[in-house]
Structure 1
Amino acid sequence: MSKNFSRREFIAGAGILLAGSALRLRGAAVPAAEQIIDIHQHISYMGRSDADLMFHQRALGVTRTIMLPSGTPVKRPSTHDGKSNGLQAKAGGNEACYQLAQQYPKELLFGANEVPDLPGAKAEIEKYLKLGAVVIGELKFGVDCDSKEMQAIYELAQAYNVPVLMHWQFNMYNYGFDRFYKMLEKYPKVIFVGHAQTWWANVDKKYTDQQGLYPKGKITPGGITDRLLSDYPNVYADLSAGSGLNSITRDEEHAQAFLNKHQNKLMYGSDCLDTTGQVKDCSGAGTLAEVRKLVTDKTALHKILYKNAQQVFRL
């Protein structure tokens, strides 16, 4: 065993046992007693090892992590002829997430997923729901959000009382964002968790160029995403990845008001392939630092970091 690996394992193990001290990210202390539920991570993310994944999560101070699997690797339009296999990130599938969660039952939870228009998709997802999956997703496929295949997944989520987590990316994943409200109204008992570029770009009322996935500058409240969170009780949001981080750093004045306004609907996620947990390298660490900076009320902060997730995923 290399010295580097031993050091990581020592630090990771020590992180679990800390009771009165804190792990430190650059610019942000992580109190050991503070819970953090990370609702969005992946196994084998761009080749990252399981050891590096666990080190990263512990370095962030995450107490529980939900592993989101990919679907079966296939070449068909819904996977862009295979380009989107592994969630376009070499992410592991259902069985890999399930097995790793068995190794770390106190730290890891798992989701269930499948290519929606693949024959047997419902049976594959249901298999892992019966094994204890707490979410369906990450749904990241080239299909219409209101297609019969996606509606079959929403019906399954309703039957098992689990949320669905959707990656919104214009002209790439989950087509028809402007029609999505119809699904919210048709399936009011299903909790939908929004994520990714198109979701977060649309917090801005003046956002019109749907091709621009990481817009910059001041935000005008009242965009589609803002309205969905306000108007539909079954809509929640996942702050993960560069898109979530961009949405709260591009206009901190807006972000502070937005985080306060939707404190009951927002959940922390990392969705990063980093291995260190350092703010300068890691969007997950950056999001944690930014949320702590902008959300000064402890009650609201705890909702975003873990209480909303406890409710949504019934933990």
Structure 2
Amino acid sequence: MKSSRRNFIKQNAKLGLSAAFSLSAGSSALEKFSTQYPPLENEPIIDIHQHANYSGRAHDQFIAHQRKMGISKTLLLPSGRPVVTASTHEGFANGLQAKAGGNEVCYALTQQYPNEFYFGANEVPDIPEAIGEIEKYLKLGAKVIAESKFGVECDAPEMQEIYSLAQEYDVPVLMHWQHEMYNYGFDRFYKMLEKYPRVNFIGHAQSWWANIDKNHRDQSILYPKGKVTAGGITDSLLSDYPNMYGDMSAGSGLNALLRDEEHAQIFLKRHQDKLLYGSDCNDGVGEGKECQGAQTIAAIKRLSASKSIERKLLYENAKKLFKL
């Protein structure tokens, strides 16, 4: 098992280096691609949650995917470096458990396409280099510390150092909540919201969206189905704390919209100033049933009670929160 984990780490490291190299060595190919598949100029949409090299997806395929979805601006969320620590589950979660590219890869892609991409900053929290690495990219202009997808207590000292850094640089922190896997202690996270009122936190993933339901009791169920009773932990955090936002990306966000569409309409209206569109999908299609990100856009458009709410969810909230 240890040998396979070491190989996994090496492969991720090579992936990051090769991806960064391809941006410089293959710039002419990407430039040719850019003229072949120009960006769309329809109503703008900001995608706050995507990854470079997601599941090995090539850059040209990724760019085509985003343009096909109609995305105007994309926020690239990097992984931390590949290491064997408790927070990466001894290497299992390296690359955000998705082969996602790190800070260097996201930054390089943003420099190549400055009109379409912004970048975040990230690092494995329980290593000595964490704060220095994150701050390096914040100084370069990172818009968010994300994606925080590590096996740590949400109020651990190393996480609070990151929250303090976010406060200093006035950027949000996006957290992946997954029961007994990533960011432990969801039920007491309100204490961090109170301790760091100047930091805007963005909730994401299975446990975040499962807990829109007041009756969600079994936290091991990550994609609950059926009717939703308003007043769950997530619902309350969005209502009670001005520095709490929600990321509607991934299968968990789409499931929350589709499991009870009547509730979803009310939920979107109630939290219209606190919710943000993200895709977080690794396909190469960018449309139809094969693309979860495209399905989420369609659901938001269908379930928004007004055009004003739709534009907030797909564009205006993100523009304001990330100062784009």
Same fold (TM over 0.5): yes
Match of 1:253 among 247, 262, 265: 262
Q: Deviations over 1:156-181 (max 9, x none)?
A: 00000000000000000000000100
Q: CA deviation at 1:140?
A: 0.2
Distance 1:10 1:73 in 2: 35
Going by fraction, where is helix more abundant, 1 or 2? Answer: 2
Aligned residue for 1:57, secondary structure, equals helix
Structure 2 partner of 1:307: 316
- Range 275-284 or range 127-136, more displaced: 275-284
Match of 2:272 among 263, 266, 277: 263
Q: Deviations over 1:125-184 (max 9, x none)?
A: 000000000000100000000000000000000000000000000000000000100000
Gaps of 5+ in 2: 1-29
Q: CA deviation at 1:305?
A: 0.6
Letter aligned with residue 226 of structure 2:
G
Structure 1 partner of 2:151: 142
Letter aligned with residue 307 of structure 1:
E
Identity %: 63
Structure 2 partner of 1:12: 37
2:122 aligned with 1:97: no
Q: CA deviation at 1:8?
A: 7.6
Distance 2:151 2:36 in 1: 41
Match of 2:173 among 164, 173, 177: 164
TM-score normalized with structure 2 length: 0.89
Structure 2 partner of 1:227: 236
Structure 2 partner of 1:27: none
Distance 1:100 1:8 in 2: 14
Q: Deviations over 1:205-230 (max 9, x none)?
A: 00000000000000000000000000
Match of 2:53 among 38, 44, 54: 44
Distance 2:48 2:119 in 1: 10
Q: CA deviation at 1:268?
A: 0.2
Match of 1:211 among 220, 229, 240: 220
2:295 aligned with 1:286: yes
Q: CA deviation at 1:12?
A: 2.3
Match of 2:129 among 109, 120, 125: 120
Aligned residue for 2:71, secondary structure, equals coil
Structure 1 partner of 2:3: none
- Whether contact under 8 Å (2:85, 2:126) holds in the other structure is no
Q: CA deviation at 1:120?
A: 1.3
Aligned residue for 1:40, secondary structure, equals strand
Aligned residue for 1:280, secondary structure, equals helix
Distance 1:301 1:255 in 2: 13
Aligned residue for 2:37, secondary structure, equals helix
- Whether contact under 8 Å (1:60, 1:285) holds in the other structure is yes
- Whether contact under 8 Å (1:12, 1:59) holds in the other structure is no
Q: CA deviation at 1:298?
A: 1.1
Structure 1 partner of 2:68: 59
Distance 2:86 2:206 in 1: 21
Q: CA deviation at 1:253?
A: 0.2
Match of 1:182 among 188, 191, 210: 191
Distance 1:215 1:296 in 2: 24
- Whether contact under 8 Å (2:152, 2:184) holds in the other structure is yes
Distance 1:266 1:257 in 2: 13
Q: CA deviation at 1:279?
A: 2.1
Structure 2 partner of 1:25: none
Within 5 Å, give how 1:22-33 maps onto structure 2. Answer: 32-33=41-42
2:93 aligned with 1:84: yes
Gaps of 5+ in 1: 17-31
Distance 1:226 1:98 in 2: 34
Match of 1:129 among 118, 135, 138: 138
Distance 1:209 1:203 in 2: 13
Distance 2:192 2:285 in 1: 39
